[in-house]
Amino acid sequence: MTDDERQIRDLVDSWMAASKAGDVEGVLALMTDDVIFMTPGRPPFGKLEFAADSERMSDVEVDGRSDLEEIGIFGDTAFIRNHIQISLTKAGDGPKRMSGYAMSILRKQPDGRWRLARDANLVVPEEV
């Protein structure tokens, strides 16, 4: 495993850990300022909307896993393809389970760290 691949895997692990801990600032630090997210049923959105969505969900417990299935590295740009399983639990409610695939583009920053730049996320509620 190359150092870049290890750093990318660490980024995914850090994202999942920060999400579980409710650490919005920690998640935001893992993305570029011009990040764009594409999800089902809504227009693309950026970092500010991601932060606002996260703040609105501050009373929701997040747990999940990401199975990284593919990494491609091309200089200072990389892509990852993974399968994500998420459980969202609001106090007094049962968990809402979601899963699906995501494809992300990462950029290596001048400081040598990889950051999420684009994300096409197909995570949707699971059938009950």
Please give the C-alpha separations between residue 30 and each of 3, 40, 93, 116, 126, in angstroms, as whole numbers. 17, 22, 30, 6, 27
Give the start-to-end residue ranges of the domains of the chain. Answer: 3-125
pLDDT (0 to 100) of residue 81: 98
What pLDDT shows up at residue 21? 95
- Cβ count near 80 (within 10 Å): 24
What is the Cα–Cα distance from 3 to 27, expressed in whole angstroms? 21
3-125 has which fold? Nuclear Transport Factor 2; Chain: A, (3.10.450)
Q: Residue 48 belongs to what H/E stretch?
A: helix 47-56
**pLDDT tens per residue across all 128 residues of the chain:** 999 999 999 999 999 999 999 999 999 999 999 999 999 999 999 999 999 999 998 899 999 999 999 999 999 999 999 999 999 999 888 899 999 999 999 999 999 999 999 999 999 999 76
Is 80 within 8 Å of 7 (Cβ atoms)?
A: no
Q: pTM of the full predicted structure?
A: 0.93
* pLDDT value at residue 128: 63
